Amino acid sequence: MGERTLWTFHPIFPQQYANANVADRVLLVAAEPNGDNDGPANDDMGEWFCLATDPPDGQRLFWNQHGKSFCQRSVQIAERARAAIHPGHQPLQVHQAFQALEPGPWPQNLEEQLHATRFVDWKAEAGGNGAVTARVLAWATEAAHAPLVQALFTPTPGIMVFLGDHAQKVAAAYRAPLLGSVPALAGTPCVGLPHPIQAVSMASLAGLDLSQQLRSYGDVDAPMRRWTPAKGWHDATW
């Protein structure tokens, strides 16, 4: 396989994300982009989400059932994360909203959910259909890539959700250097959930209560809590 494209990870709605209160920002962190799928012309994940429902003429992007499911689970995860740090948050009925979703601009109720949401990957170089933890970690820890990785966490999020085993393992292994460069993350709550590519039911995701499962990213004595369909909530023991 030849060298893959380097993706960027701007927020879905950059101005709204920058202007949001720290406590409102939800950062979803996965492992690496899938370079085997169609993507936006400039390979940016923020644009992927922003244009997913309304691609330019001639660009399919991800508006198909597979991509729609990915978007839907990502929004549902962001909604549950936001509810965990805002007890008064009015839950969005994500499944129903997507059932009514038609190709075109994001409707207001879903767009507002995305204003303070950002989806990033530890490894900017696109991989294939399936990540390898060692490869993702090696890329993220290479000195030349440090500015790219640090930029994913600026501005500081209010909560970080690490998506899938690969991203969660890298989060644990990369904690010390990341906190050394972005010390504000030490007190940021975090949690581990399945990657949205996994066929986890929307009902399961919608029923998750993250509020009692959050751990500060900088607390090395308290393992990250993670949820999987098979084991429910448990400590990450990487």
- pLDDT at residue number 210: 96
Q: Give the 3-state secondary structure of residue 205.
A: helix
Is 60 exceeded by the pLDDT of residue 153? Answer: yes
Q: What is the mean pLDDT of residues 158-166?
A: 96
Helices within the chain (DSSP H only): 14-19, 45-51, 65-85, 94-99, 108-114, 133-141, 146-151, 164-173, 175-181, 202-206
Asked if pLDDT for residue 3 goes beyond 90, the answer is no
Question: Tell me, what amino acid is at 230?
Answer: A
Q: How confident is the model at residue 13 (pLDDT cuts 50, 70, 90)?
A: very high
Mean pLDDT for the stretch of residues 105-112: 90
H/E element holding 163? strand 159-163
pLDDT for 32: 85
**130 confidence band (pLDDT: 50, 70, 90):** low
Token readout for 210 is 């993250």
**Distance (Å, whole) CA 122 – CA 69:** 22
Question: Is-above-0.85 flag for pTM?
Answer: yes
**pLDDT attached to residue 84:** 94
pLDDT at 1 over 50: no
More confident: 222 or 58: 222
Q: How confident is the model at residue 237 (pLDDT cuts 50, 70, 90)?
A: confident
Looking at the DSSP bridge assignments, the partners of residue 26 are 117, 159
State what percent of residues in the chain have pLDDT above 70. Answer: 90
CB 193 within 8 A of CB 78: no
| DSSP-derived secondary structure letter, 129 | S
Q: What is the Cα–Cα distance from 162 to 238, expressed in whole angstroms?
A: 14
Cα–Cα dist 123/31, whole Å? 6
Average pLDDT (102-124) is 91
